[in-house]
A and B are shown apart, each in its own frame.
Chain A
């Protein structure tokens, strides 16, 4: 069983600041983290391998050379192998170009050892599109299983997998042949701690780096800005539309008085609201 997990290194958006005058993103000093959603995918992949009592988990990322850190982290948690897809030509890729590059790399990995399952996270916190997974599956003609909450059964003999996926209004139980691509829901497992030997191995391993040609991409117009049909034409700050709140008088009044004041105002503003409340509460 060969499992590939796609992970992405992203800026810790909690720490991104916007320059107050120029409205540009101040990236300096913003630490990079592994996209939190992808860690659930990694953990699930490791669990499938461990449950089957064997197999290989390869982590794959496309990004700048510094994204190596994300791969080392994955190795320290128990992943078997890691590939960094890095090339200046990949810069500026949108989801279509990204899924193309990743699927080419997965094809190469498959030549080394046939891939049975590809895992991705639900979405990234910077791209935030949830489209790269479906994109890879479509290109490689893998059965696409999105928003998977539980892997019920993996049957390598029959070459099939049974999963529970989150659908609108319920859970769909699906059985599909492998190879397949799974995008994993967040919060469905708890990330393990790395073992000592794995940590040493992660620190020592020489990470495989693939450029465009190593990944078997002959046509450079299919990656990076050239391979991206979407173009960002404008970046701007949200306009401060709203007026500040009308503050209710609180000094020297009891909570009950303030509350009664608010209810009066709400009902005076809109008779509709009163009718709605009567209906809802009725």
Chain B
């Protein structure tokens, strides 16, 4: 993307797609899996890809790369193919090879660009995860095509049939739409939870196109010595949490975050935070919600002592219900929250913990 948005090209300039790109048809989603486990962002992208493919009257393809010796892994890959079809793919391209067992930039870039050059999709989407961003940058450079990172909205320009990729810019205060008019495929990454999870239809049918990736381990330069899995910590699950209790500087001091953890405990929720709270070291960095943190989409988001700055808002406004607790009636968070409580969060939060506890006890007793 162009960092300098003021240099947008003048409107009305004509763009003609180079004839060599006319053969590029269809929408592709890279389905990210590690050790057989598919990252949910891939399903979200298939949902979005389905809409784009229908708009174009084109086929939706899913690409899965993987490999390894174990049988369990092979089964997991087969299952991922079936699931991809259930989530809307017409075609699944499954490429397997021993060197694809662990993610490495070198092998994955090579395998994915090979598939693109063979089957020529017009659009290629990846999740903006650490893996997806690493891969997307290399693939786009190898193919010499345009890539728009962290899109929040995707659409088709009816005039040129090209992808209109919209993303926030300047810290979320503006949006810009970016197009790759003269090159194919048009590439985009989307962060987890930005697009809704589509419904799965197990009865859908589709085709699986299998291929082998022939590179041998001797030809790969980077060696994986070890993989140290993260300890299962709550914060890491933030993007997929159904309920989130978040705190901002208005919580006053780090000790008061305990009140939020108490409430979260009763609700089975995760704890989030605004950026200044992270910067002050009150909680771990992976709890940050917003433009430079995580995008979340819970059923219920409780924001305590958070002003609602645009950089925070873009990360959580997709929540179904937002409850804001803030002592300032003019706080911007009240402009878009579902329910507002003007008051001292340090008093309201424990009261809420109690109220939920009581109410849930009643419901449980009744059922």
Taking beta carbons and an 8 Å cutoff, which residues of A are in contact with B? 13-14, 16, 18, 23-25, 91-96, 99, 124-135, 137-139, 143-147, 162, 164, 166-177, 187, 225, 228-238, 240-248, 250, 254-256, 258-260, 262-267, 269-270, 272-274, 276-282
- B340 contacts the other chain (CB 8 A): yes
Choose from A125, A139, A167, A259 the contact partner of B354 (Cβ within 8 Å). A259
Docked-complex contact B174 and A242, CB < 8 angstroms:
no
- Neighbouring A residues of B4 by C-beta, 8 Å: 91-92
Interface residues of B in 160-187 (CB under 8 A from A): 164, 168-183
A279 vs B102: C-alpha distance when bound (angstroms): 36
From B180, B267, B299, B352, A262 is in contact (CB under 8 Å) with B352
A92-B7, A258-B351 given; A281·B267 CB < 8 A: yes
Contact present for A230 and B299 (CB under 8 Å): no
A229 touching B145, Cβ below 8 Å: yes
Does B337 sit at the interface, judged by CB under 8 A? Answer: yes
Which of B9, B133, B171, B266 has the most A CB atoms < 10 Å from its CB?
B133
Q: Which of B87-95, B200-208, B342-350 contacts A (4 or more CB under 8 A)?
A: B342-350
User: Cβ of B338 and Cβ of A225 under 8 Å apart?
Assistant: no
Contact B141 A134 (CB under 8 A): yes
Decide: B178 and A281 in contact? CB cutoff 8 A: no
A143, B221: Cβ atoms closer than 8 Å: yes
* Known A168-B129, A245-B333; 7 more pairs at CB < 8 Å: A127-B1, A128-B150, A170-B228, A244-B334, A245-B335, A247-B334, A276-B243
Chain B residues lying within 8 Å of A176, measured Cβ to Cβ, are 221-223
Identify the 9 closest CB pairs spanning chains A and B, nearest first.
A134-B137, A280-B268, A242-B336, A245-B340, A229-B146, A255-B351, A230-B146, A259-B355, A127-B3
Q: List 22 A-B contacts (CB under 8 A).
A: A16-B173, A93-B2, A99-B141, A124-B3, A125-B171, A130-B149, A135-B140, A143-B222, A173-B226, A176-B222, A229-B145, A231-B2, A235-B174, A235-B175, A236-B174, A244-B335, A247-B341, A248-B339, A248-B340, A258-B341, A260-B359, A277-B243
Interface bracket on B: 35 or more
Q: Are A134 and B134 in contact (CB under 8 A)?
A: yes
Q: Would A95 and B243 be within 8 Å (CB), given that A176-B222, A235-B5 are in contact?
A: no
